[in-house]
Amino acid sequence: MRTKIKICLISSSGGHYEQLKMLKKLEEKYDVFWVTEQTKFKSQADYYLLQTGLKDKKYPFKMAMNFFKSLKIWYIEKPDLIITTGTMVALPLAIISKVFRKKVIYIETFARINDGTKSGKLMYKIVDLFIIQWETLKDIYPEAVFGGSIY
């Protein structure tokens, strides 16, 4: 039986991943593993999923593949908590987490000041805690918690 809470930190590559890296200190207290997209940009993660977006013509197929890869990650790691800064790459693990009654925290990206992201609007409906970095987003996400800048 494990004694530490196991946390999955998952996000897309680029800015979302850079924001998530601000939570690296969690590794000092918790058992943490990282998931991001496989891209040409270098990142340090334990698992990689396919990069995709809503405009990608192969989006449905890549999301299906990411769902099955996420199931495999879930089976191996069995996280207690998922923390994500988005985007759609995090959706399969978030859904799996909810099915297994685990907690999901979503942090809306720092780049959005007046409007929410598409993934944020989807995640807002299913997560346990939705954190915004700008108070102006309270109009879009009224139940969100203002956490201030992640930086």
Q: Which residues contact 92 (CB under 8 A, 6 or more apart)?
A: 49, 63, 66, 67, 69, 70, 71
Q: Which amino acid is at 16?
A: H
- Tokens representing 96 are 């799996």
- Tokens representing 116 are 């929410």
In the block, tokens 């890296």 appear at 21
Global confidence as pTM: 0.93
pLDDT reading at 23 higher than 80 = yes
Question: SS3 of 108, please?
Answer: coil
Where residue 56 falls among pLDDT bands split at 50, 70, 90? confident
How confident is the model at residue 55, as a pLDDT?
81
Closest to 73 measured CA to CA, from 5, 6, 144, 148: 6
Dist CA 142 CA 149 (whole Å)? 18
Range of lowest pLDDT (39-43, 47-51, 103-107): 39-43
pLDDT reading at 98 higher than 80 = yes
Range of lowest pLDDT (49-53, 80-84, 90-94, 133-137): 49-53
pLDDT reading at 68 higher than 90 = yes
Q: Which residue has the higher pLDDT, 81 or 43?
A: 81
pLDDT reading at 29 higher than 90 = yes
CATH node for 6-146: 3.40.50.2000
- Tokens representing 37 are 């997209």
Distances (CA, A) of 151 to 72, 130, 147: 32, 17, 11
Dist CA 144 CA 131 (whole Å)? 6
pLDDT reading at 147 higher than 90 = yes
